[in-house]
């Protein structure tokens, strides 16, 4: 049984005023006596009325929805703790501003560009959070053309003139490699994320450079699709070399691959960290639940999401473009890293 919709008119009639007055009251604007204001709120309460956001948006006021399009095959997404944690950080900020998140999975960047444009043109959103930047990302130009407020989650070198929120991945990679080298490792491998992503490229470059600087005897890099399966495959391949040639330490680009790596080591009869050290990335709760616990480049993903959301609100309310670094991931040694067996 659908209650016939209550509109501003009904409230106005009930309170004995014009709909303009109701609008003024509900937007806390001056020009009404306390008495009338009360009468209006009372009437609205009695009728169970709340302003129709669609109409309000159309009439030109603010939109209290922000967009987030994620470009991953839907099946893979469920497996990435990163996004859910990121989203939960975003939500924690949205919730206190009474704002909602419009979430959409897209198949590729072009589709995302179209979607963002539709959202923006259609006034469906007040701004957007852009993630997963790649080199020469088409979203940069598109968003500039539209004049849409956004926060770009990615390194300034990828996000151009857009307001960005980013972590210093290069430094973090350097620190990870230095740490392993300091433990005595000379043959280090890295199981990277999706090659197309800008931050993967930056980490790859940083790893190369660190390997050269430290004059490592061996340095491998593989890229994957971030899935546990791919991480397992990569690990299996890395560890199947002869003991004298295989890496004694492996750095992973997320934690799910590190967990997979841990289990591959066990399956191959190698002990962690005695035979091989493993270092995870992002550090969700997962890293503390394995045995041995996983050392990780720890990163407050939840806080990262919250920062992104806050920065987006800044952009929506007119802050100029800016670059907002968030804390660099810090090395959190746990049970999966140790000096190599001599």
Partner DNA sequence: AACGTTTTCTTAACCGGTAAAGTCCCTATT
Partner DNA sequence: AATAGGGACTTTACCGGTTAAGAAAACGTT
- Contacts with DNA by CB under 7 A lie at 5-9, 16-24, 26-27, 29-33, 35-37, 49, 51-52, 55-56, 58-61
User: Are 184 and 246 contacting, i.e. CB atoms less than 8 angstroms apart?
Assistant: no
- 144, containing H or E segment: helix 138-146
By beta-carbon proximity to a second copy, the closer residue of 175 and 282 is 282
User: Would you call 301 exposed, middle or buried from its count of C-beta atoms within 10 A (0-12, 13-18, 19+)?
Assistant: buried
87 interacts with a second copy by CB under 8 A:
yes
Instruction: Name the residue nearer to a second copy (CB basis): 104 or 310.
Output: 104
Nearest alpha-carbon partner for 168 in 330, 279, 314, 57? 330
Say which entry of DNA, a second copy, none residue 289 contacts (CB below 5 to 8 A, set by partner kind): a second copy
Cβ contacts of 132 within 8 Å, gap of 6 or more: 70, 71, 153, 154, 197
Which residues, 252 to 291, sit near a second copy by CB under 8 A? Answer: 256, 259-260, 262-263, 266-267, 284-286, 288-291
Can you give the length of the chain in residues?
342
CB closer to DNA, 8 vs 158: 8
Per-residue binder mask for a second copy (CB under 8 A), 31-70, x = binder: ------------------xxxxxxx-xx------x-----
Q: Which is nearer to DNA, 10 or 209 (CB)?
A: 10
Contact region for a second copy (CB under 8 A) — 18-26, 142-150, 201-209, 216-224?
Answer: 142-150
The Cα 86–Cα 168 span in angstroms is 17
Among 10, 19, 36, 91, binds a second copy (CB under 8 A): 91
DSSP code at position 227: -
């Amino acid at each position: 049984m659908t209650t016939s919709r209550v509109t501003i008119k009904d409230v106005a009639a009930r309170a004995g005023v014009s709909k303009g007055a109701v609008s003024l009251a509900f937007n806390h604007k001056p020009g009404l006596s306390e008495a009338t204001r009360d009468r209006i709120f009372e009437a609205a309460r009695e009728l169970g009325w709340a302003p129709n956001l669609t109409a309000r948006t159309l009439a030109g006021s603010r939109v209290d929805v922000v967009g987030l399009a994620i470009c991953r095959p839907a099946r893979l997404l469920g497996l990435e703790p990163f996004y859910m944690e990121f989203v939960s950080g975003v939500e924690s900020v949205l919730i206190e501003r009474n704002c909602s998140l419009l979430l959409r999975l897209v198949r590729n960047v072009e589709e995302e560009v179209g979607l963002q444009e539709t959202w923006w043109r259609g006034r469906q959103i007040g701004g957007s959070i852009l993630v997963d930047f790649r080199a020469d990302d088409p979203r940069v130009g598109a968003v500039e053309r539209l004049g849409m407020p956004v926060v770009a989650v990615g390194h300034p070198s990828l996000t151009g003139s857009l307001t960005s929120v980013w972590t210093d991945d290069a430094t973090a990679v350097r620190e990870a490699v230095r740490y392993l080298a300091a433990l005595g490792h000379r043959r280090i491998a890295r199981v990277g994320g999706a090659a197309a992503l800008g931050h993967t490229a930056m980490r790859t470059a940083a790893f190369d450079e660190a390997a050269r600087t430290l004059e490592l005897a061996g340095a491998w890099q593989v890229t994957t699709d971030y899935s546990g399966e791919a991480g397992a495959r990569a690990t299996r391949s890395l560890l199947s070399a002869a003991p004298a040639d295989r890496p004694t330490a492996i750095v992973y680009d997320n934690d799910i691959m590190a967990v997979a790596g841990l289990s591959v080591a066990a399956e191959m009869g190698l002990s962690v960290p005695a035979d091989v050290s493993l270092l995870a990335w992002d550090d969700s709760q997962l890293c503390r639940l394995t045995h041995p616990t996983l050392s990780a480049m720890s990163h407050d993903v939840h806080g990262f999401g919250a920062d992104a959301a806050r920065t987006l609100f800044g952009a929506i309310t007119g802050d100029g473009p800016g670059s907002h670094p968030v804390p660099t991931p810090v090395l959190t040694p746990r049970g999966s890293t140790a000096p190599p067996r001599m």
